[in-house]
Every structure is written in C-alpha cells, then in structure tokens.
Structure 1
Amino acid sequence: MPTKTLPTVGISDKAFRYRPAASTDIRKTFARVKRELAREQEQRELQASTVVHLVTAIKNGK
C-alpha cells in the first residue's frame, strides 16, 4: 500500500511560499535534491572514516 506524502509546511506557516506549477522546473528540483543527498552521503562517509581513524589511533596507542 503506497504511503501518503504530506506537506512539510502548513499553508498558514510563514515559511510557506506558493509556487505555481507552471513556474517550477522539475529537472532543477531533482538536480538539487540529488546534490543534497550526495552531500549528505559524503558527510556520512567522512564521519565514518574519521571514526575508523580514531579507533585505529587508539588501538595503536597514539
């Protein structure tokens, strides 16, 4: 059963900005999301790498 996607911001919230469908570019939206996801993945990998280096340094007594 598909899950229902709800808006993250309510229409009465000051952060809400109406954008007509005709003025959106889905390609730009997908490209932006793809960049954001890649950036998050890179940060997770960097954190994991840092932890591995710290654990290795601790084991080696440095």
Structure 2
Amino acid sequence: MFASNKIKAFLQAVFQIPVQFVRYLWEGVSRIFSPSDDRYPSTGVQPFEGEPADDKRRRHEW
C-alpha cells in the first residue's frame, strides 16, 4: 500500500512537469502578444525647440 502511494505520487509529478512547462511558455507568449500595459502619460507631439543642424557638418548630400 505504501509503494502504491509512492508510485501514484511519482506519476503525478512526472505528468505535472510538462504541464508546468507549457504553462510557463504560454505565459510568455501571451505577454508578448498582449496589448501593452505601459502607463505613460499622453503628451502628444512636442514642438522642436532646438536649432537646425549646421550645413557645414553634413557628410552626405541627398
């Protein structure tokens, strides 16, 4: 009777390992493909307040 309980516990542990692995992968996949949960403030487009680049420093002529 004691050996029977050990076998049942062993088999249950063996079957739980793949279940836990799939659950672990599923959580990662669902996090990647879920909408973003970032809580950034909506600031909109900000005006440019700097100075334009100096033409002397241009390396490429487009």
TM-score by length of 2: 0.46
Rg larger for:
2
User: Larger relative CO (CA 8 A, sep 6+): 1 or 2?
Assistant: 1
Q: Which has the higher helix share?
A: 1
